[in-house]
Amino acid sequence: MGLWDYFKPASLDCPHCGAGLGEFQGRPTGSFHYVWQEHIVHPIDQRVDAEWKDPRIGTWVLDEDVAIQGECPRCAHTINAFARVRNQVWSHTDPDGGYDSAIAIESQVFLCGTCNGCFDRMHAARFHACPHCGSINRMPSTSHSSP
- In 5-108 the beta strands, taken as DSSP E runs, fall at 5-8, 24-26, 34-37, 45-46, 66-71, 78-86, 89-95, 100-101, 103-106
Cα first-last separation, the chain: 54
Of residues 125, 100, 122, the one with CA closest to residue 12: 125
Listed ranges 49-57, 61-69, 92-100, 112-120: which one lies at the site for Zn ion (CB under 5 A): 112-120
Q: Which of 62, 72, 85, 102 binds Zn ion (CB under 5 A)?
A: 72
Least distance CB 11 / Zn ion (angstroms): 15
Listed ranges 16-24, 52-60, 101-109, 121-129: which one lies at the site for Zn ion (CB under 5 A): 16-24
Least distance CB 52 / Zn ion (angstroms): 34
Backbone φ, ψ for residue 50 (5° rounding): -50, -40
Least distance CB 51 / Zn ion (angstroms): 38
Q: Is 114 in the site for Zn ion (CB under 5 A)?
A: yes
Question: Of 30 and 131, which has the nearer Cβ to Zn ion?
Answer: 131
Output the CA–CA distances (angstroms, integers) from residue 29 to 61, 62, 67, in the order listed.
Answer: 10, 8, 12
8 A C-beta contact, residue 119 and residue 130: yes
Q: Which of 16, 121, 126, 138 binds Zn ion (CB under 5 A)?
A: 16
Residue ranges binding Zn ion (CB under 5 A): 14, 16-17, 19, 72, 74-75, 112, 114-115, 117, 130, 132-133
